[in-house]
Amino acid sequence: MAEDPSSLPRRPRRLRRNAPTRALVQETHVRVEDLIYPLFVHELDTAEPVESMPGVQRHTVAGLVDECREAAAAGIRAVALFPVTPAAKKDAQGTEALNPDCLVLRAVREVKAACPDLIVITDVALDPYTTTGHDGILNAAGTDVDNDGTVDILAQMAVLQASAGVDWVAPSDMMDGRVAAIRTALDAGNHTDVSILSYSIKFASAFYGPFRDAVGSQSAAGEVYLDKRSYQLNPANPREAMIEAALDVDEGADLLMVKPAGAYLDIICRLRDSTDLPVAAYQVSGEYAQLHAASKNGWLDYTAARDESLLAIKRAGADLILTYFAKEIALNQ
């Protein structure tokens, strides 16, 4: 027997019955202003596609400037730049990172000259510059990354990047104490206005492969899989992740990041509940690539899956999302 309608005073479907009503009561929104656009730049004379990341290119410096202009015109407020260092300029110490005229610093100067109101973010880590592909220099025995020696270099990198005109530096290395060292170095260099977007919670994830292909850190190492588990977080350890974030807050980080995003929505939620600082999440290359692959095979609706993936990250608590979808989202809103 059907239930008496009068016994159902609450009918939640009333607020889902048509598109205008659903739009009015929608709780979570992904805005263009929430998105940060990661971009790759190389020293060649022509752009080059990243085969594992459909639609993504390694830009020339001039092409990067054009891409930033287009992104800014579409409403993107921030870009994150990642250099592709030629093999001939890589060494065990990552010395090219401290070249005042290295590729990424030239790119920063050109982008800021063309787009002064665009927030430019640069990565602070050694993996684009080392022959090992690691985020830092190795110890004397070559068995692990030398934490304190790496931190000294990272602090110098951050000052050079600030001097070139970046707005935010983003240490992605996961070394102990690097946020405090970078903040101290920036302040001593009269760069008190430069913010630190810390990769506070960066997991040793299987989803980074296409990015390492894009910047050449995987090929530099000559390994199928780079083992970074001695410094990146164990995916099984949420409490340890919160400790890392708390340390970065104490050391002076201005914004905190979780990387990857999609497989770590619980971590984003925990971090959001534990801090009043802005929380960013990086929808990484593997997340982007797998969605493209499934869509290409007809297994997913590309646009619907893309939008749902971003909405989930925002709903989990991220204020900002680094995503390779940023420009296409902006152009279609």
How many angstroms from the chain centroid is the CA of residue 68?
A: 17
Query: CA-CA distance, 286 to 30, in Å (whole number)?
Result: 21
Which residues are registered as beta bridge partners of 37? Answer: 79
Among residues 36, 73, 43, 77, the alpha carbon closest in space to that of 61 is found at 43
The answer to whether 259 is a known catalytic residue is yes
DSSP 189-245: TT-TT-EEEEEEEEB--GGGHHHHHHHTHHHHHT-SS---TTTSBPTT-HHHHHHHH
**Catalytic option among 90, 112, 228, 259:** 259
Q: Do residues 71 and 330 touch, judged by C-beta distance below 8 A?
A: yes
* Residue with token string 């050391």: 251
**Catalytic option among 202, 228, 314, 327:** 202
Give the tokens for residue 176.
């102990």
Q: Do residues 199 and 80 touch, judged by C-beta distance below 8 A?
A: no
- Residues belonging to the active site: 202, 259
